[in-house]
Structure 1
């Protein structure tokens, strides 16, 4: 069997030269102004590191080509050629390739956008149809942009699609590893090709790829069809190997929640002959958009059934959580005053002069700078910004000393971001030149350990600051904190808690100031408490009864909570409300009379009023459920019910 690291079979007892070894790790080494913090993963082509710009905390991904591949001129040149082609692919759903240059040990490195989030292969599948459509829609948006530039991915799989969040709290899909398939294909010898060896993730490779034929964008659409099938059913259509000639089972037969229309769309994407599939990513997207009960939008994560919350779950449109609403308000400029997100606004040392190569043909122009450390500074600039990771010339002057060198662009501050910060637009740069660092240290009066170095207190994380501010609004409401509906089932609660904790854990991996780290820990404990409150029937039933949430009480009863266990809670509940029981009984009696007289809608209203006063009366609740099911032909699990005296 071919090695999973380099796609080549090795003799028994020999190790793969491309497999990752902790001893060979580049962790702790520098790549220009960036520090390689940790290994994100190691694959067939290279090892990917999380790289950080220490003064600002800005993070990148750096892919280092495996040494055994870097030693092959054809592979090395193809690696750099693909990087040049991909720098022009700029799309919100593609993890950008920013630069390619020599890295530690002289190995070719790709500097890329760091896409934080969960890989599709780690999502708790199967997902609701609306979510499947939304995620595929964003991935297809990325493929449409790439195919328009003549770029074919060639290895779309559930492992190189990541689901994360953008700065506004919207869910954002990122497609990774464009160009990797072409580089690896260049590494195959003629003998390996003659033996039928191909590059890619076996479960996602299109039939024409297995046959060694020329492929186009329709191979990517096939692979995304496999991804959609997995998201919708929790299974791969053909297992982990080659397709063969068997047709995939219709998804709606494996998972009843899948609409037949969505099932037909996925099966067309999985057609063995390319001409029988969708002709383009746009056509695939349009077919998904026509599936009843779902709606797609590449920019907004909404479905016709509900709104996707901060932590990726669906809540009813009329029950959107305060946290979700607050995030929407912030995205549209309706945000209430909260903790400010500080922008670059610390004045430069008096007497420091700076000229940057930002003019035409890198002409040096004088700029206003701030947030100066011995490692770099923020430069105000209203014109076009040079690409991230680009090198620009700089001239520094202070008290008669002049230093000229190059600096790396490590961050952009756009006009929109500057407006939100009430600050200035521009760019952050960092130096590798010791002469520049010494001059800046002289201007700052810094001795010993440079300010802004790895041991300095990091700057507040803007994304986390927004999350903490919004979470504070709903901290005491476990439903709102988890983005759960009032009638959420217990499995759904557990999944939400797990997803939320994973999201918070990702923040915990960042360099955070002490105050934010403490606030993050408080939020984590609140999420765990919310999980305990809503995840155990006896704890939840009392919580929901006090808050008049009939749907939640119903869930607890459905979960097997017996009358004997509920009755002590009911007794305590009614003792605290001396007149409630008699009023509730009178209302229930009226409801029974109306039911006998076949005025069923009015009877339901009286029953709901009675249960608002005595929500732990399980016999009444079951009767109400049964009548509601018979008259309205809805699920036994209640949606929130509105009554004149309470809102459930």
Structure 2
């Protein structure tokens, strides 16, 4: 093998010219076999390409080195145009299949013409060693920028451009498979911000070997473990959704400054991708909007079908997550002077002290008329006065692409009113009034009223009604209890008494909710083994189908031994056949203690009890 002569252009001699950054190699003689391995045998570094010419470009200096190749800054020998030249490592050129696929993938990249994808100018071979000529980028990698958590707006802007690049690649059947911060380059814009350039498209795909075969002979790794989708970790077929998973991991890192899955060994990281649920970014970093966190969780779903279908869908979801939620429409009760009842209108806030109310039908109040308003805001109601300041007719609304109606200016502009208005509009509670000191008489009266409302699990006792009370009586008693308790809220009571009032109101509400509904009541009665209450529910119209559904829910919660209930029922039937009615009634009751919603046992118990009391049993149609 012939080794070309070496010439150093430095003014100061070097002890080892091989390491000189300005080393120039003379072209080899025609037909000479310049073997890259032979260079190593001669003590020369086959990866030191400084000064060598690849096509029309001469290598200037190394820009970076990775597992597949080295990227060099190069200049055109005639016009000094600067480019980046990526050269496959010398130790990889023996794998002919790898070289062939490198060239094939590079040809595919020529199809992707997109502002967010690095441009490929040329593809060639030099003495069996392939190289790519690409645009030279001046800026920084995303890895250097994202040393700390980025602001959500900046992170979404960068991720959106990454999604644009992925969309362009996926449209041509190219899957990146190695998306990570080091492969995202940022070019500063003149007016601020960055333009994203996605690098190394298809390299991971070039290293895709059949399932179960790892390219250990070339010393490379299929993708970067921290960014690999579960299907990529397990060697399953992948498509563009693997890139979307990596985009979700990238987004999590940009927003939190940390990776979602880590480990002391690559195998531990791969296992985490396969097994562990993706963490929530907003739980780790409070500055991340929860909606944005949910987008990233979906992007990092374990199953590809659970992720976003396309990069464009992910891009839209990212941007939608940062859009402020539109203010909810307001409901306004407006009363004009002399009107019998208020008119309910929908509207929205307009400016600091304005409202715009929609009115499709009818005439709005005249301009400059004052109207009484009761605003139903997310945090509560607020009463005020407004003055009509302008009308928007149907014709104007069509021209302005809005709803017809009229504008109001709120008349109260005091700081206290504005503070309350803003707080209620944002969903905050109204300011708690400062209670006046409680008098001893009011305290004693409240204490006496509260004695009538007991706590405990027996809701019948809370309302003070019999356990077989009709539903109408239960509802009436709940209304009466509320009428007694609610006025106490407005009285100046001590904090302890006020807490007892609220607790009593809550218990009354719970009792009405449970006992005022037949199905909920029958399940409550089953818990109490209240057979009288169960019969009342049947007599008031509880159907057999509804009873069986309640029984199924009850049995699933209680896990009662149904076999014993059936045994007691059979025993009762035997006693009844022999005329031993009291023993039969006791056996039926034993069955109902185990399975209180057993319809046959209930019917037998009811009829036998009526017979023993000397009263006629209710008709069979009572249980429908």
TM-score normalised according to structure 1 size: 0.40
TM-score normalised according to structure 2 size: 0.42
Structure with max Cα Rg: 2
RCO higher in structure (CA 8 A, sep ≥6): 1
